[in-house]
Structure 1
Amino acid sequence: MSGLDLFADALRRPDLRVLDGVGEHGGAQLEARVQAYADALEAQGLQRVASRLDNGLDWLALDLAIRRLDGVHVPLPTFFSAGQVSHALASSGAQALVTARGEPMPIGANAEVQRALGDTLSAWRLQTHAPALPEGTACITYTSGTTGSAKGVCLDAASMLAVAGSLVEAARPVSPRRHLCLMPLSTLLENVSGLYAALLSEADIAVPSLAEIGYTGASGLDVPTLLACLQRYQPHSAILLPQLLLALVTAAERGHALPRSLRFLAVGGGRVGPRLLARAAALGLPVYEGYGLTECASVVCLNRPGASRPGSVGRALPHARVQVVDGELQVHGVRCLGYLGEAGPPPGAIATGDLGHVDEDGYVHVTGRRKNVFITAYGRNVSPEWVESELLQHPDFAQAVVWGEARPWNVAVVWPRRAGQQANDLQAALHDVNASLPDYAQVRELVLADAPFTAAEGLLTANGRPRRDAILHRYADAIAQRYARANDPSPTFGCTP
């Protein structure tokens, strides 16, 4: 039975429920909306469709409608800048951009006309040239690269469904019956591991808006709103970025109640420090760290009930196999069809660019990015992700990027977690973090950023990872000033002018 047939079966389930800020929607309601969107897309001759939608029932229905037509979906995050929107639409050759009804044409789109797509959505017809796509392309998702324009990665439906199926099996021991989508549905991780896996496992799906989750702007998070969202939907499972996990752990440690319903919290998208995982375990939170990449259709490895090892990202899922070549992780199995406008990965294993090892029991350990490792003036290799994860586990640091190439000591550009924090507070926090690090990895000087790092400013990738080159370039003068004061042994703090 094909994946599309499996989705059709899921929609026919009388007990299927999709929950959002409006209420509950049964399988018959979702099926009717999916078919209505499929009919409207077909009537308008739309086969390659971009969307820029908030989380909700319409996102899910549109995606399934495009799947039903064997079309191509190009999901764009709502926080994409005008330049990112323009690049994605031009490079993908989308025929239309779907938005919520009544919204103005997004800046960066070059639309000819707006047409209704049901009662709640509009399709903006675009003036674009449609490049040839690899045969079987069902989704074009944009990587969270650290520099330059993001690459459009072409994936087929079978690959995404293979990953979703592996995740269903991984979570089967705890049988989550309600999944709460806490990440934008436009991210491949939530699309595949949240929506598709939940549909295949016959679980209910909660798709609150990003505002109801607590997101503010491109990178802000209101923790009380997030806690209220969790209590409202009482999920069994959710996918968390490290910062979301930190927010929940910190809140729980301060006495805020988390739902007792939680059975499976998958965390990924960035390095998770072992201290944070230990804090989560001490609270009894069912946290399982994983690892994946866009070129492999999302998740590759995952800790899971009965097969979990702290400090690792788990064993490879059934659809993948991980090996180490010259210290770099390489993945066999499910892979993308190619990139837009350039050659795809060469045949064979996908070279991830991540450093790590596989232990004797098959657990995969990720230690950093090959391209990000810097070498200090004393010849010590430092993976900045390692040091940054230690900084970000401290409640005083919200964002951090570490640098020390060819220098005797390291600097970190940071944004504090609470407005108005004083230099002395941050100095004490830095002292606490350094106590857990070897001397060559410790941070001696801090540069306070003048604003949080955001995707809109080009300082974060789509899934919240720092664009290192852009951040270091913006704060180059302040970093240089810190090193110029090398004869002053006391840490200094400040913002660039």
Structure 2
Amino acid sequence: MREFTNPPLASAPRAGGLADAVFDHAAEDPPRVVLGRKSEETGLWRDVTAAAFRDEVLAVAKGLLAQGVRFGDRVALMSRTRYEWTLLDFALWTVGAQVVPLYPTSSAEQVFWMLHDAQVTAVVVEHEDHAMTVGSVVDRLPLLRRLWQLDGDAVGELTRAGRDLDDEVVHRHRRAVTPSSVATVIYTSGTTGRPKGCVLSHANLMFEVDTVVRRWEPVFRSRRGDEASTLLFLPLAHVFGRMVQIAAIRGRVKLGHQPSLSAAALLPDLAAFRPTFFLAVPYVFEKVFHAARRTAEREGRAGPFDKAVDVAVKYAEALEARAFGTGPGPSAGLRVQHQLFDKLVYAKVREALGGRVRHAMSGGSAMDRRLGLFFAGAGVTVFEGYGLTECSAAATANPPERTRYGTVGQAVPGTAVRIADDGEVWLRGDHVFQGYLNDPEATDAVLRDGWLATGDLGSLDEDGYLTITGRKKEILVTSGGKSVSPSRLEERVRDHPLVAQCVVVGNDRPYVAALVTLDAEAVDHWLALRDKPRLPPAELVRDPDLETEVRRAVVAANTLVSQAESIRTFRILAHQFTEEHGLLTPSLKLKRKAIEEAYAAEVEALYP
């Protein structure tokens, strides 16, 4: 199939903006709990009602106007994921401002470029370090007039500043916002070159989230007797996290915030907040799975755990086959095995996610089919999807009633997907952005007769399910002329629990090779099980047993491709690629060119 179109569920919004939902919900159901807020002092969660949130948004909006923010102004937010980000987002939208999110890990030069390019007039930062970053470039930003610091009581300062302003002044601004008004300029994290500002309107985001909430109602609506809730831990500077935030507010789902993706910080808050669903990147699901297996190994139950995984996968595969009319569903024997392991294994996995999660959505990168099947068999159905900033987040996702694991699903309603002659994925729909800020040439390069050329390569099966196979710019061509898509190989190598990251190299080289980094927690566990001493990283990577384990991962990956495309050799590195060293984007994507430059000596050693 070369093209698949999914009819829209609803027409694009004709009036209003994103902030209207806050005021409408408060008017219709004031005592309804819409957010959970964690106390910094006690660590306990408290409820925030629709009326209370409306009052906070209104108070901050009045303060923004009193402090000089005007309709159409661009205001930057630089913070981790926290309650105040959502509060500021909707307050800024209430007065008709355009929000420019900045990753909290951005360098001074990155911050300068985005504030300069977007002509930002005010900035909200999280803490003093961020304030110093902005301060270091402020002399080159003549339009920047105001800076507020969240940890310096920015919300209180704004509330006090707007105390004497009449509410109606704010509402006049809010009523002036139309669907075509610009809501946000989100800069792509970019694996190469300067970030580009994606201009998204209120209509883009409203169409996106309303479509997703309506089509995936089983995800966003809790079971009878359960309050629908989600814990947001994705960065709000990324379009995926932003979509979750807006969907929760518009969909009347209780929203909590967690600023860290680390398992040590995230798992306790999942247990305390107890969401009914969440949206995440595959990394989170991989961490939960590997942590569960390490626990089983420590307790001497690795064998039963692996058997439970096999049963979960077969059970989910049987349900998948029944959904597509190619099988009868789980056999009686498989159902008995599944029921047994549900008590012994699967319930513990669900408990690690808070105990109430039954659905999740995954995006940002590809999820291994077997991992998705395991979670489905364990009682947590993960709907994998695909999208990008230029289309307001999700463009495709697996439908609730017919999930095809290992694909990123069908076009969301109101979207068309086309595979171009060169294999590139093209998209069309009301969620496609307005263009790149101040860059008509780049805009014209990706918007073609109403279609968005994504730069990703993929294929559509007979039912319109999309599989992403790589990036056009990342295709390697060996000196022998063989084209190789590195992503499939890298994902399969990363399936091994000891592997953290993998970068395949080989452009203009005689064969394909790889740089591999290790998961420190998994390696510590592996060493403890074998009574091996902990060595400095530079010595550890030369351990022959460890090298054998990584070689197994490479051999498994090579089964996916021809011999000419296979990884011939590899090098284990002592340290992981990090965002701090400029080797990852804030959304954890590999910066291939930067990695090859940083490890030029190691790459050369792969080709003696």
TM over 0.5, shorter chain: yes
Q: Given the alignment, which residue of 45, 57, 66 partners 1:34?
A: 57
Report the CA distance shift for 1:293/1:101 in structure 2 as closer, same or farther (over 3 A): closer
Q: 1:218 maps to what in 2?
A: none
CA change 1:28–1:450 in 2 (3 A) is: same
Structure 1 residue identity aligned to 2:232? C
Report the alpha carbon displacement of residue 310 of structure 1 after superposing the two structures with TM.
1.3
| Residue of structure 2 equivalent to 1:337 | 434
Counterpart secondary structure, 1:454: coil
Distance across 2 between alignment mates of 1:280 and 1:68? 40
Corresponding position: 1:68 with 2:108: no
Q: Deviations over 1:330-372 (max 9, x none)?
A: 0011211111221124342000111111111111111111111
- Give me the whole-angstrom Cα distance separating, in 2, the residues matched to 1:467 and 1:103: 25
Q: Which moved more, 1:402-411 or 1:144-153?
A: 402-411
Distance in 2 (CA, whole Å) between partners of 1:400 and 1:341 is 35
Residue 445 and residue 106 in structure 1: after superposition, are their counterparts in 2 closer, same or farther (change >3 A)? Answer: farther
Segment of structure 1 superposing worse, 340-349 or 249-258: 249-258
27-36 vs 151-160, greater mean Cα deviation:
27-36
CA distance in 2, matches of 1:143, 1:269: 13
1:370-385 correspondence runs (5 A) = 370-385=472-487
Q: Give the CA deviation at 1:452.
A: 2.4
* Alignment equivalent of 2:355, drawn from 242, 260, 264: 260
For the pair 1:405 / 2:502, whether they are aligned, the reply is no
- CA contact 1:100–1:120 (8 Å) conserved in 2: no
Question: Taking structure 2 as the reference length, what is the TM-score of the superposition?
Answer: 0.72
* Larger RCO, structure (CA 8 Å, separation 6 or more): 2
> Hey, what does 1:390 align to over in structure 2?
492
CA gap 1:463/1:470 in 2 versus in 1, 3 angstroms: same
Q: Out of 7, 24, 34, which is 1:17 matched to?
A: 34
Match of 1:316 in 2: 411
State which of 238, 241, 245 in structure 2 corresponds to 1:187: 238
- Give the structure 2 partner of residue 83 of structure 1: 109
Q: 1:378 offset after TM fit, Å?
A: 4.6
Q: Does 1:458 align with 2:604?
A: no
Query: Displacement, 1:379?
Result: 4.0
C-alpha change, 1:291 and 1:121, in structure 2 (3 Å) is farther
Q: What CA deviation, in whole Å up to 9, does each residue of 1:228-260 have, x standing for no partner?
A: 121111111211112112101222334564233
For residues 3 and 318 of structure 1, do their structure 2 counterparts lie closer, same or farther at Cα, with a shift above 3 Å needed? farther
Aligned-residue CA RMSD (Å): 2.3
Q: Counterpart of 1:261 in 2: which secondary structure?
A: coil
* 8 A contact 2:60–2:158 mirrored in 1: no
- CA displacement, residues 123-165 of structure 1 (integer Å, 9 cap, x when unaligned): xxxxxxxxxxxx7321010112211111111110110111101
Task: Give, as a single letter, the amino acid of the residue that structure 2 aligns with 1:338.
Answer: G
Distance 1:112 1:308 in 2: 50
Residue equivalent to 2:229: 178
1:118 and 2:155 aligned: yes
Whether contact under 8 Å (1:72, 1:137) holds in the other structure is: yes
| Residues 37 and 117 in structure 1, CA contact (< 8 A), matched pair in contact too | no
Verify the 8 A CA contact 2:81 2:233 in the aligned structure 1.
Answer: no
Q: CA 1:410 to 1:20, structure 2 compared with 1: closer, same or farther past 3 Å?
A: farther
Matching residue's letter, 1:95: T
Separation in 2 of the partners of 1:348 and 1:112?
A: 38
Q: Report the Cα distance in structure 2 between the residues aligned to 1:349 and 1:286, rounded to whole angstroms.
A: 31
Say if 2:358 and 2:379, in contact at 8 Å, map to a contact too. no
Whether 2:30 is the aligned partner of 1:2: answer no
C-alpha displacement of 1:112: 5.9
Deviates more, 1:150-159 or 1:21-30: 21-30
2: CA distance, partners of 1:443 / 1:204: 47
Does the 8 Å contact 1:314/1:363 carry over to 2? yes
Q: Greater CA radius of gyration, 1 or 2? A: 2
Structure whose residues are more often helix by fraction: 2
Identity of aligned residues (%): 30
1:48/1:305 Cα in 2 relative to 1: closer, same or farther (>3 Å)?
same
Contact 1:273 1:386 in 2 (8 A): no
Q: What is the CA distance between 1:19 and its match in structure 2?
A: 1.4
Q: Is the contact made by 1:163 and 1:319 (CA closer than 8 Å) also made in structure 2?
A: no
2:289 pairs, out of 243, 246, 249, with 249
Residue segments in structure 2 that go unaligned for 5+ positions in a row: 1-14, 40-44, 139-143, 160-179, 223-227, 297-347, 524-536
Give the conservation status (yes or no) of the 8 Å contact 2:427–2:453.
yes
- Larger CA deviation: 157-166 vs 92-101: 92-101
Higher alpha-carbon deviation: 287-296 or 408-417 = 408-417
Q: CA deviation at 1:121?
A: 7.1
State the Cα distance separating 1:49 from its structure 2 match: 0.6
Is 1:201 the counterpart of 2:238? The answer is no
Superposition deviation, residue 383 in structure 1: 1.0
Compared CA separation, residues 80 and 18, structure 1 to 2 (3 A): same
Q: 1:231 to 1:440 in 2, by over 3 A?
A: farther
Cα distance change, pair 398–266 in 1 and its aligned pair in 2 (3 A): same
Contact kept in structure 2, 1:276 and 1:393, CA below 8 Å: no
Structure 2 residue aligned with 1:166, among 211, 234, 239? 211
Residue of structure 2 equivalent to 1:273: 368
> Which of 359, 369, 372 in structure 1 is aligned with 2:461?
359
| Equivalent pairs, count | 462
Report which of the two has the higher share of strand.
1
Amino acid at match of 1:354: D
SS at match of 1:435: helix
Deviations 1:421-470 (A, max 9, x none): 54331332232342342333432322334532222322112211011111
Amino acid at match of 2:511: W
Quick check: 1:368–1:384 contact (8 Å CA) kept in 2? yes
